[in-house]
Amino acid sequence: MTHEQLADPPCTSEVADHRTFRRDEYWRALPGFADVDAETFHTHTFQTRNSITSVGKLMALLGERVDPGFYRDLADGLRHAPMAIRLSPYLLSLIDWEDPYNDPIRRQFLPLGSGARRDHPELHLDSLHEQEDSPVPGLTHRYHDRALFLTLDTCPVYCRFCTRSYAVGLDTEEVEKLHLNVNLERWKAVFDYVSGTPHLEDIVISGGDTYQLRPEHVRFIGDTLLDIDHVRRMRFATKGPAVMPQKILTDDAWREALVGVVSRGRSMHKEVVLHTHFNHPNEMTGVTQDAMNLLAELGVTVRNQAVLQRGVNDDLATMQSLTKRLSHLNIQPYYVFFHDLVAGVEDLRTTLRAGIEIEKGLRGTTSGFNTPTFVVDTLGGGGKRDCHSYETYDEENGIAVFTSPTVRPGRRFFYFDPIDGLSEEAQARWADPAARRQMMDRVLAGG
Ligand SMILES: *Cc1c(COP(=O)(O)O)cnc(C)c1O
Ligand code: SF4
């Protein structure tokens, strides 16, 4: 290869971008937080007590900084949303309130009526069949050697796009949910199943969100699973570091419980790690850096699972910046998920093609071990598949078909592009049940 064929190294401003984390007092620009000092703002108690859970509370904090039309649009969006709102003061302050319509954090947490798109006709609640693959309530066992444990159903924030909106969060006008409370009897059934299933080696401890677990519950769950011989690996899943990093620094009891399980695991030659969920570079600031530095010093491995979202991170520059910033903070970018089919968030989904192109551009940006795999969690319980591994992809109608030899051999699984980007003819075919069945059958048969 000649020299000319090599891409130029990035310019210095790009380098600075991923190594610099803001430390200004951005929250003071919000009328409701103007008098809050850094010492108060950066505590988990302030963040939790002042969570924003209603339009009224948002108006009280932002006042006239935001156009009244925005609040009406938000109230309208919430009427049809599968998730109630819950936002930390930290995230709220990171939204650019000069331009809330286009802000990547606003788009993830605050639904607007004006942004709504019709749901895909093939959408079903619990599109991943997590409930059908549950041998006991709150445990999904789909892959041979690992399982997903839903410990509770609350989170420090509620994301519009949550895949588990069938269970997570408060009931809304649209959805009455399956509730998974903290319940020691239910947990015991989960532990019994895990200890009675010797091929299970890896448990994802999720929710909801493990930030919400009391420290003694973190310890109890961690120790109980560590004491099962065949369990070799576990991950505590939490969006916490992305939405309330303060807790890592100021909730000593929770952090010590986590570190205790990690250390005990290490002494038993087992792996206990934290999996988190950053989607945009703006979600990482100086306090994130402090929190991640502390976890690094304490020997906690952190990995990230992002979700590809339209208007949030569906462009190469944003995904490169996210990846480089995560790497800088010792957070390993593990997965980028294509957006699942979830009610009321069609405006956030991208096409399979869009994600494939971003992946091609991203790979090579940095070390391979810090380059995420782009995966589709296929409809109907086929599990996660590499986006490039589809069997057929009809881009005209937005239909992709995958196989899943390890999870359900011999079967085929769909993923669908959002309909609003298709041609008018294709949209008309989707609107006609007979034509729809025909297109799907044709792609299933191999194009
Ligand atoms: C994602 C997932 C896992 C973990 O899968 P990895 O590919 O190992 O991250 C386990 N169980 C279920 C049901 C999942 O959805
Ligand atoms: S933090 Fe995770 S589980 Fe909770 S609402 Fe967001 S995506 Fe869903």
Looking at residue 48, its pLDDT comes to 97
- Are residues 49 and 195 both part of a single domain? no
Average pLDDT over all residues of the chain = 93
- Are residues 46 and 148 both part of a single domain? no
Going by C-alpha positions, the residue among 106, 42, 100 that lies closest to residue 66 is 100
- Are residues 145 and 287 both part of a single domain? yes
Q: Does residue 4 lie in a domain region?
A: no
Distances (CA, A) of 390 to 139, 329, 342, 413, 445: 28, 33, 21, 10, 13
pLDDT tens digits for 269-286? 999 999 999 999 999 999
- Are residues 57 and 170 both part of a single domain? no
CATH assignment at residue 342: 3.20.20.70
* Residues 148, 140 contacting (CB under 8 angstroms): yes
Q: How confident is the model at residue 13 (pLDDT cuts 50, 70, 90)?
A: low
Q: Which of 86, 107, 160, 164 is catalytic?
A: 164
Q: How confident is the model at residue 5 (pLDDT cuts 50, 70, 90)?
A: low
Q: Is 434 exposed, middle or buried (0-12, 13-18, 19+ CB in 10 A)?
A: exposed
Ligand 2 atom showing the smallest separation from residue 154 Cα: 4
- Are residues 175 and 298 both part of a single domain? yes
- Are residues 149 and 33 both part of a single domain? no
pLDDT tens digits for 203-257? 999 988 999 999 999 999 999 999 999 999 999 999 999 999 999 999 999 999 9
pLDDT tens digits for 335-367? 999 999 988 999 999 999 999 999 999 999 999
- Are residues 90 and 151 both part of a single domain? no
Higher pLDDT, 183 or 438: 438
For residue 134, the ligand closest to its alpha carbon is 1
Q: Does residue 441 lie in a domain region?
A: no
Q: Determine the average pLDDT of the residues in 25-47.
A: 98
- Are residues 79 and 34 both part of a single domain? yes
- Are residues 150 and 102 both part of a single domain? no
Q: How confident is the model at residue 126 (pLDDT cuts 50, 70, 90)?
A: low
Tell whether the torsion through CA atoms of 59, 71, 48 and 256 is positive or negative: negative
Q: How confident is the model at residue 7 (pLDDT cuts 50, 70, 90)?
A: low
- Are residues 58 and 90 both part of a single domain? yes
Going by C-alpha positions, the residue among 378, 370, 363, 375 that lies closest to residue 416 is 378
pLDDT at 14 exceeding the cut of 60: no
Exposure string (b/e) for 136-175, b if CB count within 10 Å is 16 or more? bebbbbbeeebbbbbbbbbbbbbbbbbbbbbbbbeebeeb
pLDDT at 1 exceeding the cut of 50: no
Residue-range definition of the domain harbouring residue 50: 10-115
Q: Does residue 213 lie in a domain region?
A: yes
Residue 164 CA, distance from chain mean position: 10
SS (H, E, C) the chain: CCHHHCCCCCCHHHHHHHHCCCCCCHHHHCHHHCCCCHHHHCCHHHHHHCCECCHHHHHHHHHHHCCHHHHHHHHHHHHCCCCCCEECHHHHHHCCCCCCCCCHHHHHHCCCHHHCCCCCCCCCCCCCCCCCCCCECCEEEEECCEEEEECCCCCCCECCCCCCCCCCCCCCCCCCCCCCCCCHHHHHHHHHHHHCCCCCCEEEEECCCHHHCCHHHHHHHHHHHHCCCCCCEEEEECCHHHHCCHHHHHCHHHHHHHHHHHHHHHHCCCEEEEEECCCCHHHCCHHHHHHHHHHHHCCCCEEEEEECCCCCCCCHHHHHHHHHHHHHCCEEEEEEECCCCCCCCHHHCCCHHHHHHHHHHHCCCCCHHHCCEEEEEECCCCEEEEHHHCCEEECCCCEEEEECCCCCCCCEEEEECCHHHCCHHHHHHHHCHHHHHHHHHHHHCCC
CB neighbours of residue 358 within 10 Å: 23
Q: Does residue 414 lie in a domain region?
A: no
Distances (CA, A) of 17 to 287, 313, 361: 16, 16, 19
Q: Determine the average pLDDT of the residues in 18-45.
A: 97
Going by C-alpha positions, the residue among 136, 74, 122, 63 that lies closest to residue 100 is 74
* Residues 403, 413 contacting (CB under 8 angstroms): yes
Q: Does residue 431 lie in a domain region?
A: no
Known catalytic membership, residue 155: yes
pTM: 0.95
Q: Which of 324, 384, 412, 429 is catalytic?
A: 384
Going by C-alpha positions, the residue among 184, 204, 189, 193 that lies closest to residue 228 is 193
Hey, whose CA ends up nearest to atom 8 of ligand 2? 162
Question: Rg of the chain over CA atoms, in angstroms?
Answer: 22
Phi (first) and psi of residue 376, to 5 degrees: -105, 125
Q: How far is the CA of 106 from the centre of ligand 1 (A)?
A: 28
pLDDT at 6 exceeding the cut of 80: no
pLDDT tens digits for 91-116? 999 999 999 999 999 999 999 999 99
Pick from 130, 168, 205 the residue to mutate for probing ligand 2's pocket: most ligand atoms within 8 Å of its CB: 168
Pick from 153, 158, 276 the residue to mutate for probing ligand 2's pocket: most ligand atoms within 8 Å of its CB: 158
202-206/146-150 β-pairing:
parallel
Hey, whose CA ends up nearest to atom 7 of ligand 2? 162
CB neighbours of residue 59 within 10 Å: 16
Compute the distance between CA of residue 264 and CA of residue 254 in angstroms, rounded to an integer: 15
Q: Which of 86, 90, 159, 415 is catalytic?
A: 159
Q: How many domains does the chain have?
A: 2
Q: Does residue 58 lie in a domain region?
A: yes
Q: How far is the CA of 397 from the centre of ligand 2 (A)?
A: 30
Q: Does residue 336 lie in a domain region?
A: yes
- Are residues 151 and 88 both part of a single domain? no
- Are residues 165 and 314 both part of a single domain? yes
Known catalytic membership, residue 162: yes
Q: Does residue 408 lie in a domain region?
A: no
Known catalytic membership, residue 340: yes
Ligand 2 atom showing the smallest separation from residue 169 Cα: 5
Ligand 2 atom showing the smallest separation from residue 164 Cα: 8
Looking at residue 84, its pLDDT comes to 87
Which two structure tokens, joined as six digits, stand for 19? 């190594």
Q: Which of 103, 106, 107, 155 is catalytic?
A: 155
Q: Is 162 in the pocket of ligand 2 (CB under 6 A)?
A: yes
